Chains A and B, each alone.
Chain A
Amino acid sequence: MKFGIVVFPGSWSHQDFHHVIVKILKEEACYLWHKEADLHGVDCVILPGGFAHGDYLRAGAIARLSPVMRAVAAFADAGGLVLGSCNGFQILTEAGLLPGALLPNDCLHYRCRWTHLRVESRQTPFTTAMQPGQVVRMPISHGDGRYYIDQAGWKKLVEGDQIIFRYCDAKGTLAKDVNPNGSLDHIAGVCNERRNILGLMPHPERAAEPILGSEDGCLMFASLLDSFVRSPLTTCGDRA
């Protein structure tokens, strides 16, 4: 399976994703430069963490205008798999590819720490290797990660089973003190209606080796590989 990792000026998690895909998963990965609207035939696009364009104006607000995003939108429109983590999630919401917005953390400062996430749905190509209710551990590292959506939008998310991860404690309980940024309804990650785009604030690539404290991020990559093997056509974008 070939992963394409988008590099914006100011991205910084792209090398970490590359490492995990090539060294840990032994799959193929390439970088996609933001000025090019060509995805080089990849099977999955990753929008990594960082401060694309310095996050000036607003996180993701300038990045959504990069030429590569036109290609990403077309790819997603054709059913292609798109994963946005951290800044990648912010960019996907700014680009209108995912619902909602990411506001400054309620503590008003940057936070880098381990979090527990409750898997809310395995009905996505990103979570097939997980169980609903399962608690996974991944770190966050962001200043603007408070998920927000209006009441009607939230209702749609719930009804559409589009909330994929919620911040929780080690036992899976939702509570204010384990919601690291004040996200609405403890939301850590959501998918689009069609379920081929996932955005989450946590970093799965930082949780892919035991020596770093967790391998739970591998479950996401395993899900992607599994989905791709089972139906490469639908994930490649031919479904439309």
Chain B
Amino acid sequence: MTVSVVAPDLIASHGLTADEYDRIVAIIGREPNLVELGMFGAMWSEHCSYKSSRVHLATLPTEGPRILQGPGENAGVLDIGDGLALVFKMESHNHPSFIEPYQGAATGVGGIIRDIFTMGARPFALCDSLRFGPLTDPKNRYLFSRVVAGIAGYGNAVGVPTVGGEAYFAEPYSGNPLVNVLCVGVARKDRLFFAKAGGIDNPVIYVGARTGRDGIHGATMASGVFDEGAEARRPTVQVGDPFREKLLIEACLELMEGDDLVAVQDMGAAGLTCATAEMASRGGTGIEIDLARVPRREPGMTAYELMLSESQERMLVVAKAGSEARVRTVFEKWDLDAAVIGHVTEGGLLRVLDHGRPVAEIPADALASEAPAYHRPSSRPAEADARQRLDLDRLPLPDDYAAVLLELLRSPNLCCKEGIWERYDHMLFLGTIVGPGSDAVVLRLPGGTRAIALSIDGNSRYCTVDPYRGAMIAVAEAARNVVCGGGEPLAITNCLNFGNPERPEIMWQFVEAVTGIGEACRAFQTPVTGGNVSLYNETSGNAIFPTPMIGMVGLLDDVAYATGQWFQAEGDLVALFGDTREELGASEYLAIRFGLVQGEPPALDLTRERAVQRTCLEAIRAGIIRSAHDCSDGGLVVALAESCLGATPIGVDIQLKDTIRPDALLFGESQSRIVVSLKATDWLRLERIAAAHQVPVTRLGIVGGTRFRLHGPACGLDLPMTEVEAAWRSGLASSLGA
């Protein structure tokens, strides 16, 4: 060990505090050298260590009969029967996507795909959830179109279909767009792989792309707030190569069919440092590598750079001793580099050599699991009460309900998103039974008789006003959407996107949201299998809306249960499960019509929510539901209009009897409601099922014709479907560019 580093600014430039530095010295019993400081800086970053969030995440439910792997691995794993395992995870790539939107989004896709196939699963679908500032600003339009292009460019080429997702626009995302990507894969239950080193002297093999100088300090960058010059950090963003990733997928899966591998880990954030430290730490072993053997793109790279590079499309595997030649043969077939760079050792030391000379010696646990965990102070902000107050009497009723509906349908958050999803291959692998645009995506599983349903949800406006209830609603809505698709909700993954946790009011949002997620997940018996936390989403002191995104997966025992949100045939009955109350707080309607983000979000009764979901699922399984659509943003009338807007739009004639305030009746976002359609002859059966679950069900009207007609006690509207469709389709038209 040579150079000693104590300069405070060097410590700070690695994102470490003076206290953290002292802790490092205490753990390793000496001062770290520069390479070691870099390794600690990356591994103890917020991004890698979850130091602000760990104590709170520990409260989430993670157990369940189907859980084969909860948080702590590359991805979560569920037992879905028939010898199959579902591997899934969601991750954010927010900071890189702001600095360089195309590559930031593209490498976000690449990273989450690697997390899935490292577990032994073939990645078979992606969903993405995007947040941007208003598209009236050219900078936001640029970020939006480049992020979409990056997801398309990578996902299409790598050959994993992007089957769904959502996009949402609001001012607080102007300086901080969010790019959250969920990937699912299927593996044989008895062929799962874990990132756990084992077997003393087993070779540690580097596979995939060569190491370059890109992405150095990516993890540290993603753990800080931005200021005006954020784009100057472009060199911290990696450049993706989807073709190389495709080769890596095929080579790894081919190798995993044999019996040569012990452990596999993706080299993502903190690159070689993270992969070696985590594999050794999980396996309770040490690892020794020599950097001289690392394949590299350019000469003259230092040990520091090699250990911290985040070059993409690289993996680290531990193979069985004697398997080296077979590993090399498979990778050569796919024209990829594979190099033995070290071996598993006894004890827990991560030892890094450079041409035989030690450059770092750190206990793997110190890097991977001994980062500090902070109970950061949290406090409810003073303005929280004011935000929750809403005096409806001061809000005038609309004169023209048809005009309001068209305005809502035209708004960026509610309009047709085909302009986004048609840029993604969403049909590859012949699994997409219910595709993008519906509440949940339904994908046929290999074997052909069963399917899974996927949904991503998170209403950030609700979370701004009440992060606890908002997060509960996110889970409830995700589960409801999965049910609308015909699936039984099984488990969630999440991305928790928040501002700077060192501010007590942001920490309060985070703690409230985690509490809400935990409570809702316990109620729905949908454990949390992992995900990620993205903090410091703020630029120049302006934080994003608190945005906990929930990715829910569900199972359909029979593909025949697959249900879309669109009305199917003339003459079908339209019915509503649940009650509509006078609730307009934090609604899309208030935001669009009055520019308000105010008032309590709609109430959520978890018992009623579960009953509504059971009712809908039972009716779907009984074969009487032709379409099912969750009532959410924009309320009942928007849900009805969306149900009309399938591949071939169809009209509807609706009669409402509730005597509440008419704008709340039409545009309020009361929870636990689902719009369904069915054959008129099935009405009595539906009533019986609903009654058994004590769920109110109301006949609303009839599907058919070419007009969208609605009559209420104090409101009404009548529009040609062509006009409804034109408004809905026009929203994004001018915003995406080529």
- Taking Cβ atoms with an 8 Å cutoff, the residues of A that contact B are 9-10, 12-13, 15-16, 19-20, 23, 35, 50-51, 53-56, 107-114, 139, 141, 143, 203, 205-206, 209, 211-212
When chains A and B are docked, how far (Å) is the Cα of A51 from the Cα of B156? 8
Contact (A16, B243) CB under 8 Å given A54-B157, A211-B433: no
Contact (A206, B159) CB under 8 Å given A9-B247, A51-B243, A109-B738: no
Contact of B242 among A51, A108, A143 (CB under 8 A): A51
B243 touches A54 (CB 8 A): yes
Contact of B448 among A23, A35, A203 (CB under 8 A): A23
A51 touches B157 (CB 8 A): yes
Query: For residue B159, which residue of chain A has the nearest CB?
Result: A12
> Least Cβ distance of A55 to chain B in Å?
7
Q: Which residues of B contact A56 (CB under 8 A)?
A: 243
> Least Cβ distance of A101 to chain B in Å?
20
A109 touches B429 (CB 8 A): no
Q: Which residues of A contact B152 (CB under 8 A)?
A: 109-110
Interface hits, B204-255 → A, CB 8 Å: 241-244, 246-247, 250
> Least Cβ distance of A29 to chain B in Å?
14
- The prevalent SS among residues of A at the interface is mixed
B426 at the interface (CB under 8 A from A): yes
- Taking Cβ atoms with an 8 Å cutoff, the residues of B that contact A are 149, 152-153, 156-157, 159, 241-244, 246-247, 250, 333-335, 421-430, 432-433, 444, 448, 559, 647, 738
Q: Which residues of A contact B647 (CB under 8 A)?
A: 114
B159 touches A50 (CB 8 A): yes
Kindly list the 10 A-B residue pairs having the minimum CB-CB distance in the complex, ordered from nearest. A54-B243, A12-B159, A108-B738, A51-B157, A141-B425, A112-B425, A110-B423, A16-B430, A113-B422, A110-B152
Q: Which residues of B contact A212 (CB under 8 A)?
A: 427, 430, 432-433
When chains A and B are docked, how far (Å) is the Cα of A94 from the Cα of B422? 26
Known: A110-B156, A209-B430. 14 other contacts (CB 8 A): A9-B243, A9-B246, A12-B428, A16-B429, A19-B430, A35-B333, A51-B156, A51-B157, A51-B159, A55-B243, A107-B738, A109-B152, A110-B423, A112-B422
Contact of A53 among B243, B250, B432, B738 (CB under 8 A): B243
When chains A and B are docked, how far (Å) is the Cα of A9 from the Cα of B246? 8
Tell which of A13, A53, A141 has the most Cβ of chain B within 10 Å.
A141
Query: For residue A53, which residue of chain B has the nearest CB?
Result: B243
Q: Which residues of A contact B333 (CB under 8 A)?
A: 35
Contact of A211 among B157, B334, B427, B444 (CB under 8 A): B444
When chains A and B are docked, how far (Å) is the Cα of A36 from the Cα of B270? 39
When chains A and B are docked, how far (Å) is the Cα of A56 from the Cα of B241? 10
When chains A and B are docked, how far (Å) is the Cα of A13 from the Cα of B159? 8
B430 touches A206 (CB 8 A): yes
Contact (A205, B157) CB under 8 Å given A110-B152, A112-B425, A113-B422: no
Contact of B424 among A112, A206, A209 (CB under 8 A): A112
> Least Cβ distance of B394 to chain A in Å?
45
Q: Which residues of B contact A139 (CB under 8 A)?
A: 427
Query: For residue B152, which residue of chain A has the nearest CB?
Result: A110
Q: Which residues of A contact B559 (CB under 8 A)?
A: 211
When chains A and B are docked, how far (Å) is the Cα of A12 from the Cα of B245? 13
A109 touches B156 (CB 8 A): no
Contact (A55, B429) CB under 8 Å given A9-B335, A23-B448, A109-B149: no
Q: Which residues of A contact B427 (CB under 8 A)?
A: 112, 139, 141, 203, 206, 212
When chains A and B are docked, how far (Å) is the Cα of A16 from the Cα of B425? 14
Q: Which residues of A contact B335 (CB under 8 A)?
A: 9
When chains A and B are docked, how far (Å) is the Cα of A143 from the Cα of B149? 11
Query: For residue A104, which residue of chain B has the nearest CB?
Result: B738
Q: Which residues of B contact A19 (CB under 8 A)?
A: 430
Query: For residue B160, which residue of chain A has the nearest CB?
Result: A12
When chains A and B are docked, how far (Å) is the Cα of A4 from the Cα of B246? 21
Cross-chain pairs A/B with CB under 8 angstroms, 23 sampled? A9-B243, A10-B247, A12-B246, A12-B428, A13-B428, A16-B428, A51-B159, A53-B243, A54-B242, A54-B244, A55-B157, A55-B243, A110-B152, A110-B156, A110-B423, A110-B424, A112-B421, A112-B423, A141-B425, A141-B428, A143-B156, A211-B433, A212-B432
> Least Cβ distance of A174 to chain B in Å?
21
> Least Cβ distance of B431 to chain A in Å?
9
> Least Cβ distance of B687 to chain A in Å?
30
A111 touches B444 (CB 8 A): no
When chains A and B are docked, how far (Å) is the Cα of A112 from the Cα of B159? 13
> Least Cβ distance of B128 to chain A in Å?
15
When chains A and B are docked, how far (Å) is the Cα of A60 from the Cα of B429? 22
When chains A and B are docked, how far (Å) is the Cα of A87 from the Cα of B22? 57
Contact of A54 among B241, B421, B433 (CB under 8 A): B241
Query: For residue A12, which residue of chain B has the nearest CB?
Result: B159
> Least Cβ distance of B95 to chain A in Å?
26
Query: For residue A49, which residue of chain B has the nearest CB?
Result: B428
Query: For residue B436, which residue of chain A has the nearest CB?
Result: A112
Query: For residue A211, which residue of chain B has the nearest CB?
Result: B433
Tell which of B156, B244, B334, B427 has the most Cβ of chain A within 10 Å.
B427
Tell which of A10, A13, A16, A35 has the most Cβ of chain B within 10 Å.
A10
When chains A and B are docked, how far (Å) is the Cα of A9 from the Cα of B254? 13
> Least Cβ distance of A26 to chain B in Å?
14
When chains A and B are docked, how far (Å) is the Cα of A200 from the Cα of B700? 47
Query: For residue B451, which residue of chain A has the nearest CB?
Result: A211
Query: For residue B156, which residue of chain A has the nearest CB?
Result: A110
When chains A and B are docked, how far (Å) is the Cα of A115 from the Cα of B738? 20
> Least Cβ distance of B303 to chain A in Å?
31
When chains A and B are docked, how far (Å) is the Cα of A20 from the Cα of B335? 29
> Least Cβ distance of A78 to chain B in Å?
29
Query: For residue A139, which residue of chain B has the nearest CB?
Result: B427
Query: For residue B431, which residue of chain A has the nearest CB?
Result: A212
> Least Cβ distance of B33 to chain A in Å?
40
> Least Cβ distance of B560 to chain A in Å?
9
Contact (A10, B425) CB under 8 Å given A50-B159, A212-B430: no
When chains A and B are docked, how far (Å) is the Cα of A211 from the Cα of B247? 31
Q: Which residues of B contact A12 (CB under 8 A)?
A: 159, 246, 428
Query: For residue B736, which residue of chain A has the nearest CB?
Result: A109
When chains A and B are docked, how far (Å) is the Cα of A141 from the Cα of B421? 12
When chains A and B are docked, how far (Å) is the Cα of A23 from the Cα of B444? 15
Query: For residue B162, which residue of chain A has the nearest CB?
Result: A112
Q: Which residues of B contact A111 (CB under 8 A)?
A: 422-423
Q: Which residues of B contact A15 (CB under 8 A)?
A: 429
Query: For residue A106, which residue of chain B has the nearest CB?
Result: B738
When chains A and B are docked, how far (Å) is the Cα of A107 from the Cα of B418? 14
Q: Which residues of A contact B153 (CB under 8 A)?
A: 110
Q: Which residues of B contact A50 (CB under 8 A)?
A: 159
Q: Which residues of B contact A53 (CB under 8 A)?
A: 243
Query: For residue B426, which residue of chain A has the nearest CB?
Result: A112
Q: Which residues of A contact B738 (CB under 8 A)?
A: 107-109
When chains A and B are docked, how far (Å) is the Cα of A110 from the Cα of B145? 13
Query: For residue A113, which residue of chain B has the nearest CB?
Result: B422
When chains A and B are docked, how far (Å) is the Cα of A9 from the Cα of B241? 13
When chains A and B are docked, how far (Å) is the Cα of A44 from the Cα of B559? 32
Q: Which residues of B contact A51 (CB under 8 A)?
A: 156-157, 159, 242-243, 246
> Least Cβ distance of B187 to chain A in Å?
16
Q: Which residues of A contact B157 (CB under 8 A)?
A: 10, 51, 54-55
Q: Which residues of A contact B422 (CB under 8 A)?
A: 111-113
Contact of B423 among A9, A109, A114, A205 (CB under 8 A): A109
When chains A and B are docked, how far (Å) is the Cα of A179 from the Cα of B738? 17
Contact of A10 among B243, B424, B432 (CB under 8 A): B243
Query: For residue B428, which residue of chain A has the nearest CB?
Result: A12
When chains A and B are docked, how far (Å) is the Cα of A188 from the Cα of B156? 20
Q: Which residues of B contact A20 (CB under 8 A)?
A: 430
> Least Cβ distance of A190 to chain B in Å?
23
Q: Which residues of B contact A211 (CB under 8 A)?
A: 433, 444, 559
> Least Cβ distance of B444 to chain A in Å?
7
Q: Which residues of A contact B244 (CB under 8 A)?
A: 54
> Least Cβ distance of B383 to chain A in Å?
42
When chains A and B are docked, how far (Å) is the Cα of A226 from the Cα of B448? 27
> Least Cβ distance of A205 to chain B in Å?
7
When chains A and B are docked, how far (Å) is the Cα of A39 from the Cα of B567? 49
